[in-house]
């Protein structure tokens, strides 16, 4: 039953990503060319509602369905890892035109070549795990 709800959330998310064209290489390219408000509107409106909602959750101490605290833990403090890691991610995001969520959506949409991107993303994650102790964090 729980897994059915996760599956439903995933289907919902996948349809949103595809229908909003956030999973399109063209939209990512256009965003970084400042050619349209579309992607900024998607991220901005999600964020505006997200900020207000999270404040409401915190003010009223709203719990999750099983009565536990919601997963809103602060992240570790650092600049190097977020900035360097973020830049590397951004380079890949603009080149492949897809971030991790949309990759799976595109696989479902039948783009065989995206499987190469996904496999390479798994490899990138693996290599990070191998060399992470040598990187500034």
CB of 106 to another protein, least distance (A): 6
| Residues 107-136, mask of contacts with another protein (x by CB under 8 A) | xxxxxxxx-xxxxxxxxxxxxxxx-x--x-
Q: Kindly tell me which residue out of 60, 61, 98, 134 binds another protein, with binding defined by CB under 8 A.
A: 98
Q: How far apart are the first and last CA of the chain?
A: 40
Q: Would you tell me how many other CB atoms lie within 10 Å of the CB of residue 97?
A: 19
Q: Kindly tell me which residue out of 1, 59, 61, 83 binds another protein, with binding defined by CB under 8 A.
A: 83
Rounded to 5 degrees, φ, ψ at 79 are -110, -45
| Residues 10-49, mask of contacts with another protein (x by CB under 8 A) | xxxxxxxxxxxxxxxxxxxxxxxx-xxxxxxxxxxxxxxx
């Amino acid at each position: 039953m729980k897994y059915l709800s996760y599956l439903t959330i995933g289907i919902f998310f996948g349809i949103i990503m595809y229908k909003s064209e956030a999973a399109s290489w063209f939209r990512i390219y256009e965003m970084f060319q400042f050619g349209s408000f579309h992607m900024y509107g998607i991220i901005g409106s999600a964020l505006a509602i997200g900020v207000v909602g999270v404040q409401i959750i915190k003010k009223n101490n709203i719990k999750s369905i099983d009565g536990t605290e919601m997963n809103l833990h602060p992240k570790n403090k650092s600049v190097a890892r977020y900035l360097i890691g973020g830049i590397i991610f951004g380079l890949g995001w603009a080149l492949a035109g897809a971030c991790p969520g949309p990759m799976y959506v595109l696989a479902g949409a039948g783009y065989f070549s995206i499987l190469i991107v996904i496999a390479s993303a798994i490899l990138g994650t693996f290599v990070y795990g191998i060399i992470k102790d040598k990187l500034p964090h």
